[in-house]
Amino acid sequence: MAELRMVQAVNRALAEALAEDPTVILLGEDIGAAGGPFGATRGLQEKFGPDRVRDTPISEAGIVGAAVGAALSGLKPVAEIMFMDFITLAMDALVNQAAKARFMFGGQRGVPMVLRTPHGGGLSAGPQHSQCLEAWFCHIPGLKVVCPATPADAHALLRAAIADPDPVVVVENKALYAMKGEVEDAPAPLPIGRARIARPGRDATIVAYGAAVHWATEAATALAQDGIEAEVIDLRSLQPWDEATVLDSLSRTHHLVIAQEAVEAFGVGAEIAARMADIGFDELDGPILRVGAPFTPVPFAKELERAYRPDAARIAAAVRRTLD
């Protein structure tokens, strides 16, 4: 057992995969000699060499396109896109190529690649370095999407993503990179698609992922002062997501709030709400409520970003409203 920061847990998962499997390679801008803009790949080029930990030019479409071609040709590439906002430049490779190859080639071969990318705000990074765009990828048949909230999950989900025979987008919350947590020395493999109950409770269910898991837990602690016991579910995987765990919780608490850092409209929460309104209809004793960001770009100024971002207070208010 070791206490690691999330970014170190990512680093360890990459180091283990590189050591275990000679077909694993890393590709990205300044990931090698410089160790990555957030330090996630620090030391890996020294250890595994510049061919396996490859510094690329600033060519997002080329990086992800090359990852697709390499994955179709016997490698397991792990590409890094420095900020999730830059994924716009690589959408074709991810959406039209990686996601569809298995299907459109009739199952001849899959695309075992991973795309790691940090999302999220709170750093005054402004409208083009803070977005949470994960819902785009959850909407694409052929992609899988995971988003860890703890160092242990960052490690386990990245290992699972690299082992997966299909393309997986691993979304890392950059405000959580410094967060510390225990990571077992040889943890059991964690399958993609399995949620975790971060805090048990009987009165209401809060489903969250990424940074919102921590706001939800904070909200649950505040609600407990008033005798309201909220259960917090950390989704961990967004595509596929763990419908059974959410439904099971809902059938015990009968109240559902979904919290996310991303823009609320048309987001991951909308899908969960729609599914639960269908298969969980008979369990509901209150409206399903969503807590997410307002329909604006992420602002730069600290006070604006504070107003923009969802937080524990908003989540707690939503729980009270659905219980009302």
Partner 1 sequence: MSDPIALFRMMLTIREAELALARLFADGEVPGFIHLSVGQEAVAAGVCAALGPQDSVASTHRGHGHALARGMALEGFFAEVMAKSTGLCGGRGGSMHVADLKRGMLGANGIVGAGPPIALGAALAHRTRGTDGVAVAFFGDGALAEGTMHETLNMAAIWRLPLLLVCENNGWAEFSRSDTQVAVNLPAWTAAYGVPHVEVDGNDVQAVATAAADAVAGLRRGEGPRVIEARTHRWRGHYEGDPQRYRDPEEASRMAEHDPIARARAAMIAAGAAAATLDAAEAEARDAVAAAIAAARAAPPADWMAALNGVYAPAEV
In the complex, the smallest distance separating the C-beta of residue 57 from partner 1, rounded to whole angstroms, is 6
254 labelled catalytic: no
- Nearest residue to 121 (alpha-carbon basis) of 301, 285, 315, 317: 301
Using an 8 Å Cβ cutoff, are 292 and 269 in contact? Answer: yes
Using an 8 Å Cβ cutoff, are 280 and 249 in contact? Answer: no
Selected binder of partner 1 within 11, 56, 117, 173 (CB under 8 A): 56
| Segment interacting with partner 1, rule: CB under 8 A, options 32-40, 104-112, 268-276, 304-312 | 104-112
Site residues for partner 1, 105-144, by CB under 8 A, read 105-110, 141-142, 144
- Return the number of the residue (168 or 298) whose C-beta is nearest partner 1: 168
Integer Cα distance of 25 and 27 in angstroms: 7
Q: Please give the size of the binding site for partner 1, defined by CB under 8 A.
A: 42
In the complex, the smallest distance separating the C-beta of residue 188 from partner 1, rounded to whole angstroms, is 15
Interface with partner 1, residue 189, by CB under 8 A: no
Selected binder of partner 1 within 6, 66, 87, 125 (CB under 8 A): 66
Enumerate residues 6+ apart whose C-beta is below 8 A from 244.
Answer: none
In the complex, the smallest distance separating the C-beta of residue 78 from partner 1, rounded to whole angstroms, is 13
Site residues for partner 1, 138-167, by CB under 8 A, read 141-142, 144, 164-166
In the complex, the smallest distance separating the C-beta of residue 271 from partner 1, rounded to whole angstroms, is 17
In the complex, the smallest distance separating the C-beta of residue 93 from partner 1, rounded to whole angstroms, is 6
The CA dihedral of 54, 58, 63, 65, to the nearest 10 degrees, is: -160
- Return the number of the residue (74 or 227) whose C-beta is nearest partner 1: 74
- Nearest residue to 266 (alpha-carbon basis) of 122, 143, 88, 138: 138
Using an 8 Å Cβ cutoff, are 208 and 233 in contact? Answer: yes
- Return the number of the residue (58 or 317) whose C-beta is nearest partner 1: 58
Contact residues: partner 1, CB under 8 A: 23, 25, 51-52, 56-57, 59, 61-62, 64-75, 77, 92-93, 96-97, 101-110, 141-142, 144, 164-166
- List active site positions: 129
